Homo-oligomer: A and B are copies of this chain.
Amino acid sequence: MFRKVLVANRGEIAVRIVRAVRESGVASVAVYSEADRASLAVLMADEAAYLGPAPASESYLCIDKIVDAAQRHGAEAIHPGYGFLSENSEFAEACEAAGIVFIGPPAAAIRQMGSKTAARKLAIAAGAPVVPGTESAIDNLTNAKETARRLGYPVLLKASAGGGGKGMRRVDREADLEAAIRDASSEALRAFQNGEVYLEKLVLEPRHIEIQILGDRDGHMIHLGERECSIQRRHQKVIEECPSPVMSEHPELRQRMGEAALRIARAANYYNAGTLEFLVDRDRTFYFLEMNTRLQVEHPVTELVTGLDLVQWQLRIAAGEGLTIRQEDVRWSGAAVECRIYAEDPDRQFLPSPGQITRLTEPAGPGVRLDSGVYEGWTVPLDYDPLLAKLAVWAPSRATAIARMKRALADYTIAGIRTNCAFFAEIMDDAEFRAGRLSTAFLDEFFARRKVHEPALETEAVAALAAALAQRKPTAAPSTAPTSQWLQTGRETLLR
């Protein structure tokens, strides 16, 4: 095992990895931008290295600064987390060139899977089904229009270098195609320094289900089953679970998708942890979408049902140890659900809500796992993704897991900024969600059918009473100046 590992990331995932490194008896080095000087990861790590100003382009995306930090601190390996440089093959190569182990797959596999079009070709060659679409990036509008007509609207624009829904646009009519290509391409350029976009047939109301795989450098590879990630907003997952409700009804689907995933990963000579994303339509036909050549945000739900620690396995595999788990050893027990806690306002089109956390009370107790990157007094920077924490629960059954999640959400208090906790509590009560009838259209449909239940008048009165009491106790609440501003802005927004 390594003696020292540098964690090239920030926020909750940096904390999660620092913890795994510590639990493996290895020293950890956190990195930080100006905005993250006192981040939780910096507090928890054994060492910390300054990268640069707040913008990621000057800190967390700087290959040279990170490799230099690893060398200065004598780190033998670098864990990239997710996002930032995690799927950047130049970074993986730069690490190896500097004699530092990149904790992830080989650079070649990252590059191949990093191009969605190349990944599609590989999957087709490996005999895995893919969504109909172009094999290559859009070069000019005429060809694009032609392809779109061939596939038939609606179509989906996606960034070749993409991920996390950035550079992605649904296009319903040819008239919108040009503008959509412009926006998607410029967004992709900003996000991935690569403006290439391509076209895909839009599969209607599919489930988004992904397969976790894990392999060692000697070619032994297994799958750890699926994660249902259909509940998304702006192509960003917000709720994930394992098992997928559809797998509970049709267990053979897990095996079939698991085998398809392994075929594709083997074709790429893959090792370490990776995830293959699929769309599953109403007939349970599945299409390979893309491969994420890194740890996923939602990996905890897999850890909760399998009892395996993916990050600790990533470390062991990168250190050259063999994967000692055989496919038949993998057991899926109970049900896990995860909610992504974002600094955003679900009542106002999920607008980001950075700022200082003035008070924090976190959920705990039986079956609750919280992976958080914040603390009371921390100021959530506006420079990065709004993910504050991942709240995951495990229970013997999905129904109990949902009840437990509801309980945990009610125990979660984050003051000073807006979060989506109360929004998740509503979803936990939604009949469609409880029935496991999920698709990527879930949230749109939810908002359509959503009716805010009139609270008991006494409950409402208590809210008013507390607000009045708080006014008498200046210490209790922040100045109400921002209040009026926010609410006014809110009302205007709603008028639009």
Interface residues, chain A, with chain B CB atoms under 8 Å away? 15-16, 19-20, 22-25, 44, 300, 303, 307-309, 312, 333-334, 359, 361-362, 364-372, 375-376, 395-396, 400, 403-404, 407, 411
Contact = CB atoms under 8 A, between A and B. Distances in A.
Contacts of A361: 375-376
A307 B305 CA distance: 11
Nearest to A333: B307
A20 B404 CA distance: 9
B407 A303 contact: no
B404 A23 contact: yes
B362 A371 contact: no
Given A22-B407, A23-B407, A307-B333, A364 B370 contact: yes
Contacts of A396: 307-309
A411 B19 CA distance: 10
Contacts of A376: 359, 361, 376
Contacts of A404: 23
A369 B375 contact: no
Contact of A370 (B22, B308, B365, B403): B365
A376 to B, nearest CB: 8
Contacts of A20: 366
A371 B367 CA distance: 11
A365 B309 CA distance: 12
Closest 6 CB pairs of A and B: A364-B370, A23-B403, A22-B407, A19-B365, A23-B404, A23-B407
Contacts of A19: 365-366, 407
Contacts of A25: 403
A307 B22 CA distance: 26
Nearest to A365: B19
Given A333-B307, A400-B23, A404-B23, A300 B364 contact: no
Contacts of A364: 362, 364, 369-372
A370 B24 CA distance: 21
A411 B44 contact: yes
A362 B15 CA distance: 14
B309 A366 contact: yes
Given A309-B396, A396-B309, A411-B44, A366 B303 contact: yes
A366 B16 contact: yes
A473 to B, nearest CB: 13
Most chain B C-beta atoms within 10 Å of own C-beta, residue among A23, A300, A334, A407:
A23
Nearest to A377: B359
Most chain B C-beta atoms within 10 Å of own C-beta, residue among A312, A362, A365, A367:
A365
A226 to B, nearest CB: 20
Contact of A366 (B334, B371, B372): B371
A371 B16 CA distance: 21
Contact of A307 (B303, B334, B371, B411): B334
A401 B485 CA distance: 49
A16 B369 contact: no
A96 to B, nearest CB: 28
A29 to B, nearest CB: 16
B15 A365 contact: yes
B365 A16 contact: yes
A380 to B, nearest CB: 17
19 contacts: A16-B365, A22-B403, A22-B407, A23-B404, A23-B407, A25-B403, A300-B366, A307-B334, A307-B396, A309-B367, A359-B376, A361-B375, A361-B376, A364-B364, A364-B369, A366-B371, A367-B369, A368-B369, A376-B376
Contacts of A368: 369
Contacts of A400: 23, 312
Contacts of A370: 364-365
A456 to B, nearest CB: 12
A308 to B, nearest CB: 8
